Amino acid sequence: MSNLKVVEIGGWAVSNSPEDILRTYALGSCIALILLHPLTKTMGLVHIALPDPLCHAGKKRGEGYYATSAVPLLLNEVLTKAGLRSASGSGIVAKLVGGAAVIKIKNPFHIGERLLCEIQQALHRYQIPVVKQATGGTVPRTVSLYIESGDVSVTSPGTQESPL
């Protein structure tokens, strides 16, 4: 029997329990960072909204809301759950989903692009390769992580679930 865990904006979840499915819905300009340690089938998901707190002056949000804090947060959670000490040479890989320009007006902020850049830079600093991504475009996406198989799938409005 599967156990669905829904990850909200700014939220995160980590699991290595075969019955778990981690899912986040309606990624527009937000990006889902997925970290996977294939050997232990430990997977983590965080739904990141903004590159850093400076984009959101005066508002208090959790650590998963901003790329600058969400990347190290998720990495530490995955390392702990997988029983690892360091990301370097660990075999952890990343997948990215989202970062679309869903607002149909002229948008000088390019939040999705800026968010993607911030996440990629952080992953590079931690020496974690991005092995797959479904980013950009103009449609929102939903992403699901199936812990038992280690599979990640993506769906958009009007499309069927497809592997990433």
Q: Please determine, for residue 45, whether its predicted confidence score (pLDDT) is greater than 90.
A: yes
Domain spans of the chain? 3-154
Residues 75 and 115: their CA atoms lie apart, in Å, by 17
Whether the Cβ atoms of residue 118 and residue 129 lie closer than 8 Å to each other: no
Q: Please determine, for residue 58, whether its predicted confidence score (pLDDT) is greater than 80.
A: no
| Average of per-residue pLDDT values in the chain | 92
| pLDDT tens, residue by residue, 82-117 | 999 999 899 999 999 999 987 766 655 678 899 999
Look at the alpha carbons of 47, 53, 57, 61 in this order and tell me if their dihedral is positive or negative: positive
Q: Please determine, for residue 52, whether its predicted confidence score (pLDDT) is greater than 90.
A: no
- The whole-number pLDDT of residue 105 equals 63
Looking at domain 3-154, its CATH architecture is: 2-Layer Sandwich (3.30)
- The whole-number pLDDT of residue 56 equals 56
Mean pLDDT of the region 36-53: 94
| pLDDT tens, residue by residue, 3-12 | 999 999 999 9
49 CB contacts (<8 Å, ≥6 apart)? 9, 10, 30, 61, 65, 66, 115
| pLDDT tens, residue by residue, 110-156 | 788 999 999 999 999 999 999 999 999 999 999 999 999 999 999 99
Q: Please determine, for residue 50, whether its predicted confidence score (pLDDT) is greater than 80.
A: yes
- The whole-number pLDDT of residue 106 equals 60
Residues 55 and 59: their CA atoms lie apart, in Å, by 10
Please tell me the pTM assigned to this model: 0.93
CA atoms within 13 A on the CB side of 112: 22
